[in-house]
Amino acid sequence: MLALSPGPDGSGALAGRRVVITGLGVVASCGVGTEAFWQGLLEEPPVGRERPVVGFDASHLFGPKEVRRADRFLQMAVTAADEAVRGAGGIEALRGDPERAGSYIGTGVGGFQTLCEQDRILLEKGPSRVSPFLVPGMMCNRASAEISMRFGLRGPCECTVTACAAGTQSIANAARLIATGRCEVMVAGGSEAPICELGVAGFTNMTALTRSGISKPFDVARDGFVLGEGAGAVVLEERSRALARGAHIYAEVAGAASTADAHHVTAPAPDGGGATRCMELALADAQISASEVTHINAHGTSTPLNDAAEAEAIHKAFGSPGPAVTSIKGVIGHTLAAAGAIEVVAVALSIQHHLIPPTAGTTNVDPSCEIDVVTGGPRDWVPGPVVSNSFGFGGHNGSIVIVPPE
């Protein structure tokens, strides 16, 4: 298998440059750090329309003055990236040529909390009291830039802003930079901190949030998502380089794809056509057949339209019953642009533990969703190829294929 090799449409990357994951980092409501996060995925989540990361503190990475100026999305991104880099052996062992090492962190709303806070100050105290740190604090590219500066990564430093598909697409885009030979190392992922009064009001008034306080992906009684926050980060390396330095390899990025529904700004295409094509292109990129896929980490937001469209897309691409499907949003809520990155971390940990976490909150799978949803408890699993999906407002679709290390 050649990772990210040319697909049927001529896209894809240089054959022979395989991309592996050598570091993992995560901040989520069920746990900060990979060990706590994994344990949290196997436990019952709380009830409520929001999934904040309670007690989160990044002052050890920023210092008392700097942390007050750093938006929460930035603090979470740096925390996840720091864990991933340390887990990959530390920056001095990892980075190599800094011109061939970079960062790629996606977000949807960036420094949203900074923007909201400074808007309040403007209204209450006037323009002269608005912080000079407003603009750098709210920039969507701030997390990627900060990680670049902290670790001395002087290669590509980029940010994908494709709503809830951004985390998946950032990792895929970073992997292509390695597969094409531009880079040797990338720190990639996604971060989002949308839980504030304005954010909750916006999602509530568009009727996207659950009324029951329970996320129920693919359940017949699903009624909207739980709003989450968090960050996920991975260290990507060219495989032979990782092997040469004796790095632990969690998984391999075998392929990826993105498409657009071209349908509606918030609603997915009801037939799942764009999502189906995205998964099929990702499998073609990985040179893997649908029958080889053993697990799908679904976008699975718990909204009526999204879950129906994704289930239809999975059914079209893989048949019935198809691979085992889970959505970790039943535990962590929908973390928007961070979701795909956190889910790639979850997939890597599933491979490591030979276990698929259950879809928490789901007790009665909608009979119209003709897919094999993992419910009731974790499922033992012999690791094989995995597809992880992310679909965002605007019709953005992203799929990435992760396979166990050889």
Q: Identify the residue whose tokens are 């409501």.
A: 29
Q: Is 299 a catalytic residue?
A: yes
- Residue 249's identity, in one-letter code, is I
User: Phi/psi class of residue 320: alpha, beta or left (left: φ > 0; alpha: ψ in -120 to 50)?
Assistant: beta
Q: Is 116 a catalytic residue?
A: no
Pick the closest to residue 302 from 210, 231, 369 (CA basis): 210
Strands (E), 93-142: 101-106
| Dihedral over Cα of 84, 87, 89, 91: its sign | positive
Alpha carbon distances (Å) from 183 to 155, 177, 219: 7, 6, 42
Tokens of 154: 């002087």
Chain centroid offset of residue 174 CA: 13
CB 393 within 8 Å of CB 164:
yes
Rounded Cα gap, residues 46 and 114, in angstroms: 27
Strands (E), 57-158: 101-106, 157-158
Rounded Cα gap, residues 6 and 119, in angstroms: 47
Q: Is 315 a catalytic residue?
A: no
User: Phi/psi class of residue 16: alpha, beta or left (left: φ > 0; alpha: ψ in -120 to 50)?
Assistant: left
The catalytically annotated residue of 30, 295, 299, 315 is: 299
The catalytically annotated residue of 30, 334, 369, 396 is: 334
The catalytically annotated residue of 140, 157, 164, 369 is: 164
CB 13 within 8 Å of CB 256:
no
If one counts every other C-beta atom within 10 angstroms of the C-beta of residue 389, the result is 27
Rounded Cα gap, residues 287 and 368, in angstroms: 30
Tokens of 51: 């999934």
Q: Are strands 50-51 and 324-326 parallel, antiparallel or unpaired?
A: unpaired
Radius of gyration of the chain (CA): 20
| Dihedral over Cα of 363, 314, 187, 147: its sign | negative
CB 253 within 8 Å of CB 4:
yes
Q: 56: helix, coil or strand? A: coil
Strands (E), 140-226: 157-158, 185-192
Just list the catalytic residues.
164, 299, 334
